[in-house]
Amino acid sequence: MRFAKLAVRVWGCQMDFDDPEVTALEGIRCLERFLKDIGMPGNFEELGAKEEDIPKLVEALCYGDGRDGSISGFVKLGTDDCTKIYQMMVQEVNDQL
């Protein structure tokens, strides 16, 4: 429900009270469009990164700037979470090939 509320409040999506996941997914699509519009890379290919870069990226993300092995924001993510997200990004690119 938190992601659905975020979609409504930030992106102006319509809340689907019967299925809040629909609203959350629309919010994700809005975020993806926004990031593309401002020129942010959307996947590993656009970033110029490779699968073998994942450990370095996770290290920088989770331990850079004095972090303690996790990142906090909407939800707290640890190194395993971040590694899985990066692996999904690589898989998405591979699936498109």
Give residue 97's pLDDT. 63
Q: What percent of the chain has pLDDT over 70?
A: 96
The CA distance from 23 to 29, in Å, is 10
Question: Model pTM?
Answer: 0.65
Q: What is the pLDDT of residues 3-61, one digit of tens each?
A: 999 999 999 999 999 999 999 999 999 999 999 999 998 778 888 888 999 999 999 99
The domain limits of the chain are 2-37, 44-96
CA–CA separation, 46 and 5 (whole Å): 29
Q: How much is the mean pLDDT over the chain? A: 91
